[in-house]
Chain A
Amino acid sequence: MAVLFDGVAFGLQLSLLAVGLTMIYGLGGVLNLAHGQFAAATAIIGARLIEVGFPVALSVISAVAISAGLAMAVDATLMRPVYRLHGEDRVLSSLLVTLGLAFAIDGLLIRFAPFTLLNLAVPGPAFVLLGVPMRRGVVVAALVAAVVLGVLVLVLRVSRWGRAVRSIIQDEEGATLCGIDPSRMRRSVFALSGALAGLVAVTQGLTAPIGATSGRDLTVLALIVTVVGGLGRVSGALVAGVLLGVVHAVASHTIGAVLTFVLLLLVAIAVILLRPSGIVRSAV
């Protein structure tokens, strides 16, 4: 039971991490291999702001906002030539360019903040949930993730912006013919995904300290969840995140961290080979 709760709590954060990645793919047909690096950068910026004496809440919010701004800047600069390409060329150059970006960010963070950690541990006794004691940080992280995901799904369903996003995912030309500007929507979604990645740094910081080297692992986790949920499928990312979170928790409990990671990778490979459109049957 405790394992299950832990898994769901972690899984919600995985969903949060993957949902931005999958939306970017759905909208622009590009993959962002620097997604986790946005989270790592947020962690470092947040930690530094706290170090110099800003209030924790303000630091964290600013860091997330900076991550969103960075993502937006990347979309406006590096991704522009990528969007000019089409089909496989576009995917390929997005992979190479964002891989370069990932290494660029990694290098900066590891060079200038090798030991900085974002630690938002919540003090106090554990919550008891259905007889299972849960650390406060974990519960808060799960709640934050769940609320943000809920709001996101709602906004996508009912707002004009959300409808426009979903329309581009389904048919970009059709959306253009309705007066929707795909490149502007892409930019807003890129910024959103930067903010969501940053938020994952925060929720991770609530459960365990997170530092400069976390970017690569987070990118890979995001990729796994995105692939298992189906590239470009928001609902798929939500379901796959929670599912893999539970798998992660159960496996770490039984076979250890290293083999768990291997298992998740193998699941991703299996899904690509057996069901490339993802485990969820739905169009978006």
Chain B
Amino acid sequence: MAARRSEAWPLAVTVTALVGLPTLVGGSRYLMTLAISMLVVAGYAVAFNLVFGRTGQLFLCLGALAGVAAYGSVLLADVAGVPLPAAIAVGVACSGGIGGLFSWVAVRRRLGVIFLGIVTLAFSLVFTNLLVGGRALTGGETGLLVDATAGSWLRDRVPAYYVLLAVLVGYLLLDRWLERSWLGWAFRALKDDPVAAELAGVDVVRAKVVAGALGSAMLGLMGALFAVHDGFLSPTGFDFGEIDVRVLVVLAVGGVGSSLGPVVGAVVVTAVDELLRPLGQLRLTVYGALLIVVFLRFRQGLVPAARGLGRRFGARRARATP
């Protein structure tokens, strides 16, 4: 209890800093683009944290789930002429439905982490390949321009930044609220011991399906909003190697299971990513190495580990100076 309460302050500070960010860098297109992609990654990470960190379901199709809503809503709006908000709602619902379906099937068929991982990875590859293959509709590898938001305020960086930030804050509030609801209780019981949780009357199916569907819908909403802001969609933007790996690294850095971790992780990873840009493809190697080191050495994430270290260090100093 105390641990979660103590997260409220750092969270508030972080959010305030993010609100103030455009007043500092709002003039720079480059920095604002970066800030926006940071928010999107943070949103993905909070969503994935709900699915993986809280209920232990390894979805390896984060990019695809974001892409379903993004392509879905853009195609609905541009091709079928559906009003944009409705189109986005439908797209997000599709992502949520697919994610919930994965969870439901996984629980029902008692798929372990390995099978769920493979099924979702396969889905991710199917999705990317269908995008490439369905050239007539999706523009294939070249991508797709979004007409629905052409010339709208959403295309401007600063307003879009605030929209995405509002969504991110919404995610964080939702996350905290869930933690306090029956679901949070179910999550913790599940984490301690799934079998015991089931015996103790936790509705495992419902807890997992809700987490899977909600997390996927959150991925979808972030993906769709970013797409309509950016005005351009392409398969690489939702590729496994592009999105999933980055989110895994963010979660590895920020820590699995906490609320703030994904946000801090996103900030750190976005900054590091920019610094490493000159390395080109070697960044993949750095990310790979980071994943390995973090998951082997600090299973709770780098930031919590560093904080623990700091606390221990502080405690020692406190003892040293009576």
Contacts and interface: CB of A to CB of B under 8 A. Distances in A.
Report A-B touching, CB under 8 Å: yes
Interface in B273-294: 279-292
Contacts of A88: 56, 112-113
B90 interface: no
Contacts, number: 122
Contact of A276 (B115, B287, B292): B115
B241 A110 contact: no
B113 A95 contact: yes
A111 B241 CA distance: 16
Contacts of A266: 122, 126
Given A100-B290, A272-B119, A261 B125 contact: yes
A97 B296 contact: yes
- Looking at chain A's contact residues, the main secondary structure is helix
Contacts of B105: 273
Contacts of A265: 122-123, 125-126, 129
B4 to A, nearest CB: 24
Contacts of A147: none
A236 to B, nearest CB: 15
B111 interface: yes
B295 interface: yes
B288 A105 contact: yes
Interface string A162-193: 00000000000000000000000000000000
Interface in A55-94: 78, 81-82, 88, 91-93
A210 interface: no
Nearest to A267: B122
B140 to A, nearest CB: 10
B58 interface: yes
B86 interface: no
Nearest to B120: A269
B288 A100 contact: yes
A106 B115 CA distance: 24
Interface string B117-144: 1110111011001101100000000000
Q: Tell me the interface secondary structure of chain B in the complex.
A: helix
Chain A contact patch, size range: 35 or more
A103 B117 contact: no
B248 A99 contact: yes
Contact of B119 (A31, A92, A269): A269
Given A107-B286, A108-B285, A272-B118, A259 B292 contact: no
Contact of B295 (A31, A100, A231, A276): A100
A268 B118 contact: yes
A93 B109 contact: no
Interface string A238-253: 0000000000000000
A227 B130 CA distance: 22
A256 B129 CA distance: 12
A220 interface: yes
A155 interface: no
A78 B125 CA distance: 27
A266 B122 CA distance: 8
Interface of B: 56, 58, 105, 109, 111-115, 117-119, 121-123, 125-126, 129-130, 132-133, 241, 245, 248, 279-292, 295-296
Interface of A: 31, 78, 81-82, 88, 91-93, 95-97, 99-108, 110-111, 114, 216, 220, 223-224, 227, 231, 256, 258-259, 261-262, 265-266, 268-269, 272-273, 276
Given A261-B129, A262-B133, A272-B118, 20 more contacts: A92-B113, A95-B58, A96-B291, A99-B245, A99-B291, A100-B291, A100-B295, A103-B241, A105-B285, A105-B288, A107-B284, A107-B285, A224-B122, A231-B114, A256-B133, A266-B122, A269-B123, A272-B119, A273-B105, A276-B115
